[in-house]
Amino acid sequence: MRLGVLDVGSNTVHLLVVDAHRGGHPTPMSSTKAVLRLAEQIDPGGHMTDEGAQSLVDTVVDFKKVAETSGCEQVMAFATSAVRDAVNSDDVLDRVRDASGVKVRVLSGVDESRLTSLAVRRWYGWSAGRILALDIGGGSLEMSNGVDEEPDLALSLPLGAGRITREWLPEDPPDRAAIDELRGWLDAELKAPAKKLRKTGKPNLAVGSSKTFRTLARLTGAAPSSAGPRVKRTLTQDGLRQLIAFISRMTTADRAELEGVSVARAPQIVAGALVAEAAMRALSVDTLDICPWALREGVILRRLDAEPAETFISTP
């Protein structure tokens, strides 16, 4: 079947069209993005502004048309941190549904972590053993640890790259003292969650997923996306430290000129690197494998799991 996955994130709205069937590998057919920066459209009272809500409505209407012309049998739409944090999220999503016919499900942070863990597990398989998975979004950091498709522990913390940039690193380039203070604060915030994750068991494999980790890996020497998803990519603590020392002295405009860094991600890649570094330090992880699958693939796989299973046992 052909499915459309509509991901309403803190920075972008992303429509991924895939061909997929139960037991098979989802094949991406097209990808359409719009940079809305919804997290920046939350007013001091916690409400999404009318401007932000209308931009979301217009984008979903347009993307619904893309999905229809692409032959999608179903559009699965979900929203993460920015919409989840808005106190008027129900009203905003009612507007979206009334205008487009698309019902957007708001995922909890823990569900984000669980679905990402599912995608990572399916990518690496059972032979990987216990997997520790990290994912940095615009608004939150997801972490999980487990040996099964349902992790033993799934956590979500408000430590996304966009959120940290707005709250800690508003200057361009970032203030050195602010970076030092942020490092200490991140260490304190991650101490207790990291302890909980470590108690569930020592991982056989540590994995980073999402665009932030892919970008950081590329900036530290990993293969470009053009090399394909099955090329092994890794990110090390040493590489991260060197990268942070380099990019934290650059302006956003200069970072956007680096290979592998998009204009939309350039403002928050320093914060993303600092969160990644702190998480790896707290969890005593020296190296992360970079997984090409993340939350969107987890949503697809969970949907396919709900399809009726074929019966392989015949009766005489």
Per-residue pLDDT of the chain (316 residues; tens, 9 = 90+): 999 999 999 999 999 999 999 888 899 999 999 999 999 999 999 999 999 999 999 999 999 999 999 999 999 999 999 999 999 999 999 999 999 999 999 999 999 999 999 999 999 999 999 999 999 999 999 999 999 999 999 999 999 999 999 999 999 999 999 999 999 999 999 999 999 999 999 999 999 999 999 999 999 999 999 999 999 999 999 999 999 999 999 999 999 999 999 998 999 999 999 999 999 999 999 999 999 999 999 999 999 998 765 544 544 4
The predicted pLDDT at position 25 comes to 87
The predicted pLDDT at position 313 comes to 55
Nearest-angstrom CA–CA distance, 186 and 270:
14
The predicted pLDDT at position 263 comes to 92
Calculated CA dihedral for residues 284, 133, 38, 270, nearest 10 degrees: 30
Q: Give DSSP secondary structure letters for 122-178.
A: HHH-GGG-SEEEEEE-SS-EEEEEESSSS-SEEEEES--HHHHHHHH--SSSPPHHH
Nearest-angstrom CA–CA distance, 111 and 123:
18
* All residues at 6 or more sequence positions from 57 whose CB lies less than 8 Å from its CB, including other chains: 95, 96, 99, 100
What does DSSP assign to residue 20?
-
The predicted pLDDT at position 307 comes to 72
Nearest-angstrom CA–CA distance, 13 and 36:
7
Q: How many other C-beta atoms are found inside a 10 Å radius of the C-beta of residue 307? A: 12
The predicted pLDDT at position 315 comes to 47
Q: Give DSSP secondary structure letters for 183-224.
A: HHHHHHHHHHHHHHHHHT---SEEEEESHHHHHHHHHTTPPP
Domains in the chain with CATH codes: 2-106 (3.30.420.40), 124-298 (3.30.420.150)
